[in-house]
């Protein structure tokens, strides 16, 4: 292929991958990457496509070919991600370390390595050891941001905030990275005044970035100053009415100001619906299917499933996207939810509003499982990359339960408010129950009771024509 042809093909494939259409990208790249001397740029893109399609054996083979052709930090990092999804954690860790040896300040590899070591050990010093050494050599903003995120997630927000403050004088005026880091750390410290100040500085450094304006709106709400936050959110939603983050924050702002429009976005009777799935073909009843599904999911939850920065507290989350799973039991679940999701989409479309678009064709963008230990819970959160979100209950603790143990709850702010706002809607979990709701709705759970774990599957649905996140 001529250089111009390679460049054009790479651009088209990368656009497809960035838009979430890995299948078409992989198909487009298959023939051009068959030859031994195919351009490494195309080889790297096909590796990424196979990874996103959960074709991990193929992604690993392509990744190792890429390393033989052109060894570098990005190739090692990509191989490490593939190995991690295969639960080959020691090999993945070595791949991330190899990436860092090639480029000591490669932020993506540092983040992956620190998360993986934490996941395997739960030891903060070990998790950030390599990152700390790199920062001592040169405190680049991208690496400081990785360290701040990790410290905040690990419950060390005071150290995270001080680290961001020390690095701020060295940041470029047009780089908002460290002000964002400082704002997030200040939020976790429940210091909204400082969080707002840093969010304003971040917006000034990079005017026009939606994510920064949403951060400012969020910090203003936490500072109990909803009026300017709602102005910002109205402007954002005028250009993207389906922005789930802006909708979530707007709903919270309306609730804080007793605006009746809150009930339009949190119309629980219409928007939160429960279904019991039918037993998939091949199983005599729902109990038999749930038993088989639980067996599959428990095998996916291992000691390597400990995660940072997730909504669940006291439990584990699977790494692989179950929407791409080849397991027949998981595929049966995905088939079984099609009827309820279709019914839900039709109901929302008939009522209009920001989610009316899901009344057409839809797809499951991502799916995962969470296993909560006794006493575990989900903190209040929303799903910015979905349109419809879910909770499907597979296995629950046996025996009598206290009031609302492990129940799904809605509307609780993710931070303390002056009015002391609490959850304003609850749904009881039951094995085989599927709960569907808009992705922008703040939701979490009460602590799980009993003496056994609670096992659930969650997934996000988007319109079929939505390929960007």
Domain map of the chain by residue range?
268-463
Which fold would CATH assign to domain 268-463? Jelly Rolls (2.60.120)
Lowest mean per-residue pLDDT among 170-174, 212-216, 377-381, 398-402: 398-402
Bridge partners, residue 434, by sequence: 275, 392
DSSP secondary structure letters along 310-322: -SEEEEEE--S-G
This prediction has a pTM of 0.91
The answer to whether residues 366 and 318 touch, using CB atoms and an 8 Å cutoff, is no
Average pLDDT over every residue of 347-374: 82
376 closest CA partner among 469, 310, 425: 310
According to the model, what pLDDT value does residue 349 have? 82
User: Could you tell me the two tokens for 236?
Assistant: 């954002």
The answer to whether residues 345 and 363 touch, using CB atoms and an 8 Å cutoff, is no
Backbone angles phi, psi at 221, to 5 degrees: -65, -45
According to the model, what pLDDT value does residue 335 have? 97
Average pLDDT over every residue of 441-453: 91
Cα 437 from Cα 430, distance rounded (Å): 16
Compute the mean pLDDT over every residue in the chain, rounded to the nearest whole number: 92
The answer to whether residues 212 and 183 touch, using CB atoms and an 8 Å cutoff, is no
Cα 86 from Cα 60, distance rounded (Å): 10
Residues comprising the chain, all counted = 469
Cα 354 from Cα 468, distance rounded (Å): 17
The answer to whether residues 224 and 230 touch, using CB atoms and an 8 Å cutoff, is no
Cα 71 from Cα 64, distance rounded (Å): 9
Cα 314 from Cα 378, distance rounded (Å): 9
Higher pLDDT, 450 or 248: 248
Cα 412 from Cα 401, distance rounded (Å): 22
359 closest CA partner among 347, 367, 368, 373: 347
Average pLDDT over every residue of 171-191: 96
According to the model, what pLDDT value does residue 315 have? 81
Q: Which CA distances in Å does 359 have to 343, 349, 352, 384?
A: 9, 5, 10, 19
What is the widest separation between alpha-carbon atoms in the chain? 70
312: pLDDT confidence band, cut at 50, 70 and 90? Answer: low
469: pLDDT confidence band, cut at 50, 70 and 90? Answer: very low
Bridge partners, residue 427, by sequence: 408
381 closest CA partner among 419, 353, 354, 408: 408
Share of the chain above pLDDT 90, in %: 79
> Which residue's structure tokens are 């996916």?
300
Backbone angles phi, psi at 458, to 5 degrees: -130, 155
Q: Which CA distances in Å does 221 have to 5, 167, 228, 255?
A: 50, 27, 9, 11
Alpha carbon 299 to its chain's center: 22
The answer to whether residues 461 and 447 touch, using CB atoms and an 8 Å cutoff, is no
Cα 176 from Cα 172, distance rounded (Å): 8
Alpha carbon 403 to its chain's center: 30
Cα 50 from Cα 62, distance rounded (Å): 9
**Is residue 281 scored above 50 in pLDDT?**
yes
Residue 98 contacts by C-beta under 8 Å, 6 or more apart in sequence?
Answer: 76
122 closest CA partner among 314, 321, 373, 380: 314
**Is residue 52 scored above 60 in pLDDT?**
yes
Lowest mean per-residue pLDDT among 198-202, 246-250, 461-465: 461-465
Hey, how many other C-beta atoms are within 10 angstroms of the C-beta on 43?
Answer: 20
* Tens-place pLDDT, residues 27-43: 999 999 988 889 999 99
**Is residue 337 scored above 80 in pLDDT?**
yes
468: pLDDT confidence band, cut at 50, 70 and 90? Answer: very low
């Amino acid at each position: 292929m001529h250089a111009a042809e390679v460049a054009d093909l790479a651009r088209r494939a990368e656009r497809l991958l960035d838009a979430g259409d890995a299948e078409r990208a992989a198909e487009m790249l298959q023939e051009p990457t068959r030859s031994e001397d195919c351009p490494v740029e195309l080889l790297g893109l096909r590796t990424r496509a196979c990874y996103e399609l959960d074709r991990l054996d193929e992604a690993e083979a392509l990744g190792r070919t890429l390393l033989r052709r052109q060894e570098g930090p990005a190739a090692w990092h990509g191989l490490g991600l593939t190995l991690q999804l295969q639960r080959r954690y020691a090999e993945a860790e070595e791949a991330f370390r190899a990436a860092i040896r090639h480029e000591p300040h490669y932020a993506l590899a540092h983040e992956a390595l620190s998360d993986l070591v934490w996941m395997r050990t739960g030891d903060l010093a070990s998790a950030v050891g390599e990152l700390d050494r790199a920062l001592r050599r040169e405190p680049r903003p991208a690496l400081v941001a990785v360290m701040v995120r990790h410290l905040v997630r690990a419950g060390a927000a005071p150290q995270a905030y001080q680290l961001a403050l020390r690095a701020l004088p060295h940041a470029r005026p047009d780089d908002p990275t460290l002000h964002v880091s400082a704002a997030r750390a200040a939020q976790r410290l429940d210091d909204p005044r400082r969080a707002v100040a840093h969010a304003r500085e971040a917006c000034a450094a990079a005017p026009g970035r939606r994510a920064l304006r949403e951060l400012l709106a969020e910090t203003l709400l936490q500072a109990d100053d909803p009026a300017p936050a709602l102005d910002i959110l109205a402007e954002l939603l005028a250009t993207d009415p389906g922005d789930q983050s802006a909708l979530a924050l707007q709903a919270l702002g309306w609730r804080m100001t007793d605006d009746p429009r809150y009930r339009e976005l949190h119309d629980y009777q219409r928007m939160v619906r429960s279904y019991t799935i039918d037993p998939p073909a091949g199983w005599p009843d729902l109990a038999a299917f749930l038993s088989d599904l639980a067996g599959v999911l428990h095998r996916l939850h291992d000691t390597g499933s400990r995660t940072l920065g997730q909504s669940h507290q006291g439990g584990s989350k699977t790494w692989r996207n179950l929407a791409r799973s080849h397991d027949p039991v998981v595929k049966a679940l995905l088939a079984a939810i099609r009827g309820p999701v279709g019914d839900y989409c039709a109901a929302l479309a008939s009522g209009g509003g920001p989610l009316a678009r899901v009344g057409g064709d839809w797809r499951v963008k991502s799916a995962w499982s969470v296993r909560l230990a006794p006493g575990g819970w989900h903190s209040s959160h929303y799903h910015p990359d979905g349109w419809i979100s879910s909770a499907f209950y597979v296995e629950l603790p046996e025996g009598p339960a206290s009031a609302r143990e492990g129940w799904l709850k809605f509307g609780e702010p993710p931070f303390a408010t002056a009015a002391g706002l609490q959850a304003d809607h609850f749904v009881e979990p039951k094995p085989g129950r599927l709960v569907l709701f808009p992705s922008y709705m703040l939701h979490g759970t009460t602590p799980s009771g009993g003496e056994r774990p609670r096992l659930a599957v969650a997934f996000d649905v988007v319109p079929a024509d939505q390929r960007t996140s």
